[in-house]
Amino acid sequence: MSSSALKTMAESEEEVDVLVQRVVKDINNALKKNPNIDEIGLIPCPEARYNRSPIVLVENKLGVESWCIKFLLPYVHNKLLLYRQRKLWLGKDALIDITCTLLLLNPDFTTAWNVRKELIQSGALSPEKDLYLGKLALTKFPKSPETWIHRRWVLQSLIQECCPSKACKERSGAVAVTAAQTERLQRILQEEMKACSEAAGRYPSNYNAWSHRIWVIQNLAKDNKKVFLDELSSMKYWVSMHVSDHSGFHYRQFLLKSLVEDPGCVLDKTASALQSTSNEHCASLPKEEASAEIQRTVVPDLFNEELELCTDLIESYPGHETLWCHRRYVFFLWHHWNHKQGSPLNSRDRQLDNSSSATTGGKSAQAMDVDGMMDPNKQVYTQETKRLKRGPLQGCQGLPTEHRFITKTLTDCRSTEQARFANAYQKWLDSVLGQ
């Protein structure tokens, strides 16, 4: 179609109506016929090809030719506003189609999301279908604030649906329902993790995606610390491949802090491998002691692993400030936690660890640990055995280790930025930690 023909067409409002209604139908039919569509996109195409729909479906990707946007968007936008102003009545199906079209073109149009909230509340639209639309919109607009905000509303109402009240759970008849709902929430949790990962991959340091991820963990996996551990473990590879994504590391900081402050009771049947070594003797201890035991065994391991990851990445990829910021956070958190632990046992531990590492590199402690493990009959839990079983802290041994790390970095590095970050870290240690 030539541009003059298009212009003539545009001048006729009725014909625009017809064209746009056809496009809206095409979009929604494509989505209905192909539930596997996983991406939307704009196809740069300044002029329409004669009598061909601007909607293109290729390999599960839905494309809209750009020429039709200037007709399509104002039309559907206007229709929805008229509906909102009660100047126009629209049936449920029309509302679903129109809001769907609108949000795929402009997902920050809050009114459209609000209309969909009403449709969900009246039962005309399934929450899962709505979440699917959001996911599609995020493939083109990975930051869209309104999409993430609306998503949390939907999730919140799903949470309320699945866990109405504690009284309900305790009623014997409701037990089976709760199990199915728990599974539903699990699936939804996994879907959200996927949506966040994809959006994070589409835009660097996608704050909105990562904040949403944190919200989901806090609300859908509140007391389930295994999820926190799994996330920490599964995100290792992602952050290793996105070493300047500050938001990704911030997510790790959130997970670490939550686990450190409240590692959860290991008597929970969802305990992970990390906690399983403590399981045996923890089962016999009263709850407060068990929790304290977890603090002493699980938490140091978490710090060690995190600092080791950080060291590894700093050495492999010199010159990324994000990694150094992460190190500061982790070390500060450890420093703070270590002080809080301050008991006679612990201060003795720290002295011993520091002195042993200065002379033998902690080897003597390790040797005795092996001895202890080899004698299964030696079940006596004296203070000595507990301390030695913990072994030397490889990653997190305090300031001496940090100073050594900085010196090594400065000696080895050939990047001026890396040297600058190392020196800044040194300064920070000196001023903030005052030693």
**245: left (phi > 0), else alpha (psi -120 to 50), else beta?**
beta
For other proteins, which is the closer residue by CB, 248 or 362? 248
For other proteins, which is the closer residue by CB, 142 or 392? 142
Asked if residue 42 binds other proteins (CB under 8 A), the reply is: yes
Asked if residue 58 binds other proteins (CB under 8 A), the reply is: yes
Closest CA to 267 of 280, 248, 253, 249: 280
Among residues 2, 3, 12, 43, which is the contact residue for other proteins, using CB under 8 A?
Answer: 43
Among residues 17, 49, 52, 61, which is the contact residue for other proteins, using CB under 8 A?
Answer: 61
Closest CA to 259 of 290, 199, 303, 289: 303
Pairwise CA distance, residues 349 & 242, whole Å? 37
For other proteins, which is the closer residue by CB, 207 or 317? 317
For other proteins, which is the closer residue by CB, 294 or 413? 413
Asked if residue 117 binds other proteins (CB under 8 A), the reply is: no
Asked if residue 410 binds other proteins (CB under 8 A), the reply is: no
Closest CA to 401 of 363, 350, 366: 350
Asked if residue 242 binds other proteins (CB under 8 A), the reply is: yes
Pairwise CA distance, residues 185 & 325, whole Å? 34
Pairwise CA distance, residues 15 & 95, whole Å? 21
- For residue 65, the surrounding DSSP H or E stretch is strand 61-65
Binders in 267-306 for other proteins, by CB under 8 A: none
For other proteins, which is the closer residue by CB, 42 or 168? 42
Asked if residue 320 binds other proteins (CB under 8 A), the reply is: yes
Asked if residue 139 binds other proteins (CB under 8 A), the reply is: yes
Pairwise CA distance, residues 276 & 384, whole Å? 22
Q: Count other C-beta atoms under 10 Å from residue 245's C-beta.
A: 21
Rounded least distance, CB 202 to other proteins, Å: 8
Pairwise CA distance, residues 189 & 340, whole Å? 33
Asked if residue 201 binds other proteins (CB under 8 A), the reply is: yes
Q: Tell me, by CB under 8 A, how many residues bind other proteins.
A: 23
Asked if residue 88 binds other proteins (CB under 8 A), the reply is: no
Angle between helices 207-220 and 145-162 (to 10 degrees): 10
Asked if residue 46 binds other proteins (CB under 8 A), the reply is: no
> Tokens 């002493």 appear where?
296
Asked if residue 414 binds other proteins (CB under 8 A), the reply is: yes
| Contact (CB, 8 A) for 333 and 256 | yes
Choose the binding region for other proteins from 10-18, 42-50, 247-255, 385-393 (rule: CB under 8 A): 42-50
CA 418 to chain centre: 28
Asked if residue 135 binds other proteins (CB under 8 A), the reply is: no
For other proteins, which is the closer residue by CB, 116 or 326? 326
For other proteins, which is the closer residue by CB, 107 or 392? 107
Binders in 22-41 for other proteins, by CB under 8 A: 39, 41
Where do runs of H (alpha helix) occur along 341-415? 344-359, 363-374, 383-390, 399-412
Asked if residue 59 binds other proteins (CB under 8 A), the reply is: yes
For other proteins, which is the closer residue by CB, 202 or 403? 202
Residues that bind other proteins (CB under 8 A): 39, 41-44, 58-59, 61, 63, 139-140, 201-202, 240-244, 315-317, 320, 414
